[in-house]
Amino acid sequence: MNNKFRVFLKGVFDVSPLMIPVVPFGLIFGVLSIDIGFSPIETMGMSLIIFGGASQIILLQLFSGGASSLVIISSVGAVNSRHLLYGAVVSEHLSDLKLIWKIIISYFLIDQAFARSNEYFKKNNDKNKYFHLFGGGITCWVIWQTTTFLGIVLGAFIPEKLGLSFAVPLTFLALLVNDFRKLINVIVIIISGLVATFGFNYVPYKAYVIVAGVTALLTAAILTKLNKKNE
Amino acid sequence: MSNWLLIIYCGLITFLTRFSMIALLKKEMFNDRIREILSFVPSAIFPAIIFPAIFLDNSGDFQLENNPKIMAAIIAMLIGIISQNIIATIISGLASYWFLIFVV
């Protein structure tokens, strides 16, 4: 078997266990998008063009709340700023690649594939190792597009009474489960939540996500600094 | 702005945050301090979506009484802290929400 294909398959297998939570996330996105009033084609377009769960759900949430396009786009940017970190971490392993491969890999650089491939890159140093990230990314891509499609189809049969929009805060809550055990994270979480809730009606242009995010991130910077001084 | 233009811009900014570091980065641009602070991005941003969706109603007013979302979110959070499992957190939250609105 060709080495590239072998590394690709390794990526597929490594990322697969992390795909289980992606299934309900994709379904919820598809259902809600139709519920809010996007067409099925626009909903598939979001999953194909944006290909990022948190970004797409924030888009829906702010769009349905009547936020302006500029605020929606900058909020999506703020959510995505964590990808800067991923890119910075994997870039040293990808520096020799051709531009076209850097573009392809960037499209597939999602949380789960990053987590698995970063472990693989640290242990393996063969020149085809980027196929690991490619394999993990494609696996997630197939599952995300399939579950979005199923969500669009299922959405027509799900009664509004079920209150599925509550799945949005629950999904984000679930993404934070590892952070509830760390004191600084808990403080940052509470500050962000309070600023957003009290600022919801007062921050202009529905920019409350950005204001809360920046305030909380500054708090994190101060707290981590104080924490180091005390050590 | 049309929906399609909005989707394309959101896709573009998502791609650029992923691509910029892979394409442009010189290693020394990111010190440990910046990495540490960026690791707080989920904790800093996600609650700004979570809290208003739980505590405010559709018109943006506080809804603290007769609000099953608060209890359901607390149950989901506790299950999340204990299980450290994403699916268990979502399902326990939805199940307790439905229990509170349909059964209680």
A103: closest CA of chain B, how far (Å): 7
| Identity of the residue in A42, A61, A216 whose CB atom sits nearest the CB atom of B4 | A42
Let me know: does B97 contact B69? Beta carbons within 8 Å: yes
| Identity of the residue in B9, B23, B44 whose CB atom sits nearest the CB atom of A216 | B44
Q: What stretch of H or E contains A152?
A: helix A130-155
DSSP assignment letter at A157: T
Distance, in Å, from the CA atom of A30 to the CA atom of A146, rounded to the nearest integer, reads: 10
Distance, in Å, from the CA atom of A163 to the CA atom of B85, rounded to the nearest integer, reads: 23
pLDDT tens-digit readout, B6-54: 999 999 999 998 898 788 766 566 678 887 888 888 899 889 989 999 9
Residue showing tokens 């995300």: A144
A89-111 mean pLDDT: 87
DSSP per-residue letters across A28-76: HHHHHHHHHT--HHHHHHHHHHT--HHHHHHHHHHHHTT--HHHHHHHH
Report CB contact under 8 Å: A201, B60.
yes
Q: What stretch of H or E contains B102?
A: none
User: Chain A partners of B94 at a C-beta cutoff of 8 Å?
Assistant: 166-167, 170
For residue A90, what is the nearest residue in chain B, using CA coordinates?
B22
Q: How far is CA A203 from CA A157, A173, A178, A212, B53, in A?
A: 37, 23, 30, 10, 16
A201-226 mean pLDDT: 90
User: Chain A partners of B55 at a C-beta cutoff of 8 Å?
Assistant: 197
Report CB contact under 8 Å: B48, A208.
yes
pLDDT band per the 50, 70, 90 thresholds, residue A228: confident
Distance, in Å, from the CA atom of A129 to the CA atom of A112, rounded to the nearest integer, reads: 17
Burial of A227 (0-12, 13-18, 19+ CB in 10 A): exposed
pTM: 0.80
Residue A177 has pLDDT above 80, yes or no: yes
ipTM: 0.87
Residue B5 has pLDDT above 90, yes or no: yes
Q: What is the CA radius of gyration of chain A?
A: 19
pLDDT attached to residue B31: 77
Residue showing tokens 């607390």: B74
Sketch the domain layout of chain B as residue ranges: 1-39, 43-104
